[in-house]
Amino acid sequence: MKPQRKPRPAGLPFSRLSAQAKARALDWGRRCVSEGFDADHFTEDLQEYVKEKHGLSADKCFWSLGYCQGDGVAFYGAIDLDPLKQAQPEVAAIFSRLRLLGISCYLSASIEGGNGHYHHYNSMSARVDVADYEPEHEAQAEQAGEDLQKFLDDFLKDVSRDAEEYGYEAVDYESTDEHVQEWIEANEYRFERDGAPAE
């Protein structure tokens, strides 16, 4: 008994289409990629990006990247200071100074704001709290808190602008011919000769 041949898949692979048919297939693929955009995954990607590049680890991330006024990227919630100390020499220096002076205190930081519809570099404000220090160390502990506050005020704006630029590049890349073709070929979509998706 002869082995049965597998039925040939309908349609043509993207690589065998004419230039005109490829353009039509790319338009179809672009619409599919846009409709399937995973906003939650993109939010996590932004958070991971700023943590790896800048050491900023915050609870929440909000973004709007539609080339409109008020668009941008913002982060809110408690800040994990450990990765920040490792990535930012200015923050490491504040803690080193306290250690050299033999001062024990607890510094915590958070990002507030974002009550409106806009989330961007100017919608965030840093808050630093200083606690658990001896009364005689109050001045030095409070100074450390003020120094951290000053650093965060500018740092958050810079990180937000960088995340916005990174975000726009990522969103724009999603719609490029290069990315859409990669998506089509990775999913092994096939097409009619005119570029319409094969049934």
> Residue 8 pLDDT more than 70?
no
Report how far residue 90's alpha carbon sits from residue 151's, in angstroms, rounded to the nearest whole number: 8
Once rounded to an integer, what is the mean pLDDT over residues 146-154? Answer: 97
- The answer for residues whose C-beta is within 8 angstroms of residue 56's C-beta and 6 or more apart is 50, 75, 79, 83, 84, 155, 156, 159
Instruction: State which amino acid sits at residue 60.
Output: K
- DSSP label at residue 16: G
Q: Indicate whether 1 pLDDT > 70.
A: no
Torsion sign, CA atoms 22, 26, 32, 37: positive
Q: pLDDT band at 136, cuts 50/70/90?
A: very high
Task: Report whether pLDDT(2) > 60.
Answer: no
Listed in sequence order, the residues at least 6 apart from 78 whose beta carbon sits closer than 8 Å to its beta carbon are 58, 59, 108, 109, 110
Per DSSP, which regions of the chain are E strands? 12-13, 58-64, 72-79, 106-113, 124-131, 190-191
For residue 79, the cross-strand partners are: 58, 109
DSSP 80: -
